[in-house]
Structure 1
Amino acid sequence: MTFEPASPANGAAWYAEQFERQRRQLRAVAYRMLGSFADADDAVQEAWLRLSRADETAIDNLAGWLTTVVGRVCVDMLRARRARREDLPGTWLPDPVITEADTLDPEQSVLLADSVGLALLVVLDSLRPAERLAFVLHDMFGVPFDDIAPILEKSPAATRQLASRARRRIQGSGTRPDPDLPTQRRVAEAFLAAARNGDFAALVELLDPDVRLRVDTGPRTWLAPPLLTGARDVASHAAAQGPRFAGPWEPALVNGAAGMIARGRAGLIAVVGFIVVNGRISEIDLILDPDRLAAVKVND
């Protein structure tokens, strides 16, 4: 992360210009922290409001100050969200980043999947807010622990431990897909074909024994089970839903990995992301919530 020193002599217009230069980076931090574009935009907007009320002469490092503010806002939002979700049924999945399959080269897709893969964001969402912040800022954006520690009101050593715990959880989660995107696509397309045909045996062969299927239906929890685990249960569910897979599915990249999208007259009606590891599907994340999908843009 590049920090540009501020100069009080430049005035409010200079600060506004510098904020706009930092906006994309701040949104990237907030998305990885929150997994929601709307919440990320709210966090960035809150940083701007706080900057407009701040004593500009006291800010020596504008980019660092803004990152600190966004980090604190995100931690507060995560804590409030966790309290709310305890009363909500079903599964919540992060907002997907959807790119049409032929608009991203393989190297770019690998970088995107490593940094903001959908399954990785699911694991990040299981972390405590402080662990998530320490990992995101240090491991994804290279912010030193000495700069992260004041955000969490902890020592640099304690902050390092938080990031280390988060890193161990992520490394053991198997959320990094195979780097060969054509293989990912072949496996995803084979899954779709087997599901359409109700071919239970073929589905089991394509699935990791410990595969997880997560379904986000929003408040419509009766539409599908929120979580299934194990190849036989996931294959049984997919085979039983065969007619649904006969619709207008098209390949796409979902957070840089192989996926599928289905569109209706009003826009997206379903998004599914796959994590393919060693030639088998280990994660399937399906978003069916129409309210969420109405706000999702392809090639965002």
Structure 2
Amino acid sequence: MDSAAIDRFEASRRRLASLAYRLLGSAADAEDAVQDTYLRWQAADRERVEVPEAWLTRVVTNLCLDRLRSAQARHERAVGAWLPEPLLEGDPMLGPADTFEQRESVSLAVLTLMERLSPVERAAYVLREAFSYPHAEIAGFLGITESASQQHVHRARRRIAAERRGGDEVDPAFARRIVEEFLVAATSGRTERLVALLTADATVISDGAGLARRLLRYETRERVASYARAGFKPTAAKRRLAGGSPAFHIALVNGSPAVLAVIDDRVVGAGVFEVSDGKVASLYGIAATDRLARLDEAWRQYESDAPAVHTW
């Protein structure tokens, strides 16, 4: 390819990556999809491409749909066995964040709920909510009618809204204070205070420190509080498993406040919170090494605040 064709692709790379991440929930898979799109662009008869941005969007979208429809992906991503890959604040793959819909579409809560949608529903929803494409263009990308695009987006919105816990926009500074208070209560063993900080229908979804074959799910305030208290309680066995005594930092992950467990500048666990009505509505616990690789790499370049809890 000549330099102009390369520059045209590179100008779209970040947007393509953030689209692919929203569709796949995996940074590694998103990077693969973008690279495959580049190879298609390299081999294309580019003189016949009237609108390169639209062509590239259609290609990366359909490559992602192929991945979502594959037998391997259906097995790996079975509901109850898979969580999205968390991304640290500032990661370009998080993409546009100018509107509430754009920010919500990349939250772990919505990315998890989108697993319940069909691949086409998910694509139509993301293209509309996160990237504001008109239904006529979405129809062209997906090879469906404009009416079908409208129906897919409507169904996706309805299904996500029906299962979404909270979902209202919360002031980041306020949400951070709630999470800081939650962390202090959990590490100090104040179970009653933990319960008071949780919504009535609070939920935890966890990968069991990266060891469970299926996700662990806890409901009711009492069970969620017990999980948090047990998870943050320091023990010699946990220190051996983690490879040391972590410090706990507060950061933004996928637009939500999170607690990161860090040992020697290495992220060994992440708890991502959803706050609603001044309380914690849900908590996503992720410790599997492969799910934290990109976040861990970004953390090494991140100018973090002092730990909220210095030692475990």
Instruction: Tell whether the structures are fold-level matches, with TM greater than 0.5.
Output: yes
Percent of paired sites with the same residue: 34
Task: Provide closer, same or farther for how the CA distance between residues 18 and 217 of structure 1 changes in structure 2, counting only shifts above 3 A.
Answer: farther
1:266-298, Cα deviation, whole Å (9 max, x unpaired): 611011111100011111011110232233223
Unaligned runs of 5+ in 1: 1-10, 101-106
Among 44, 49, 52, which residue is 2:39 paired with?
49
3-state DSSP of counterpart to 2:273: strand
Task: Provide closer, same or farther for how the CA distance between residues 139 and 59 of structure 1 changes in structure 2, counting only shifts above 3 A.
Answer: same
- Aligned equivalent of 1:158: 148
Q: CA deviation at 1:112?
A: 6.9
* Alignment of 1:260 onto 2:255: no
Task: Provide closer, same or farther for how the CA distance between residues 61 and 93 of structure 1 changes in structure 2, counting only shifts above 3 A.
Answer: same
Map residues 125-204 of structure 1 onto 2, 5 A cutoff.
125-172=115-162, 173-174=164-165, 176-204=167-195
Map residues 31-180 of structure 1 onto 2, 5 A cutoff.
31-80=21-70, 82-85=73-76, 91-99=81-89, 113-172=103-162, 173-174=164-165, 176-180=167-171
Q: CA deviation at 1:83?
A: 2.0
- Aligned equivalent of 2:200: 209
Task: Provide closer, same or farther for how the CA distance between residues 150 and 97 of structure 1 changes in structure 2, counting only shifts above 3 A.
Answer: same
- Aligned equivalent of 1:8: none
- Aligned equivalent of 2:280: 281
Contact kept, 8 Å, 2:88 with 2:254, in 1: the verdict is yes
Contact kept, 8 Å, 2:206 with 2:216, in 1: the verdict is yes
Task: Provide closer, same or farther for how the CA distance between residues 269 and 177 of structure 1 changes in structure 2, counting only shifts above 3 A.
Answer: farther
Could you state the TM-score of these two structures normalised by the residue count of structure 2? 0.81
3-state DSSP of counterpart to 1:295: helix
RMSD: 2.7
Aligned AA (1:187):
I
Question: Quick check: 135-144 or 111-120, which moved more?
Answer: 111-120
3-state DSSP of counterpart to 2:294: coil
Within 1, Cα distance between the matches of 2:148 and 2:99?
A: 34
- The higher relative CO (CA closer than 8 Å, separation ≥ 6) is in 1
Could you state the TM-score of these two structures normalised by the residue count of structure 1? 0.84
Task: Provide closer, same or farther for how the CA distance between residues 94 and 115 of structure 1 changes in structure 2, counting only shifts above 3 A.
Answer: same
Aligned AA (1:185):
R
Q: CA deviation at 1:110?
A: 6.9
Unaligned runs of 5+ in 2: 91-96, 236-244, 303-312
3-state DSSP of counterpart to 1:141: coil
Contact kept, 8 Å, 2:206 with 2:285, in 1: the verdict is yes
Task: Provide closer, same or farther for how the CA distance between residues 179 and 219 of structure 1 changes in structure 2, counting only shifts above 3 A.
Answer: closer
Within 2, Cα distance between the matches of 1:266 and 1:98?
A: 14
Aligned AA (2:178):
V
* Alignment of 1:30 onto 2:20: yes
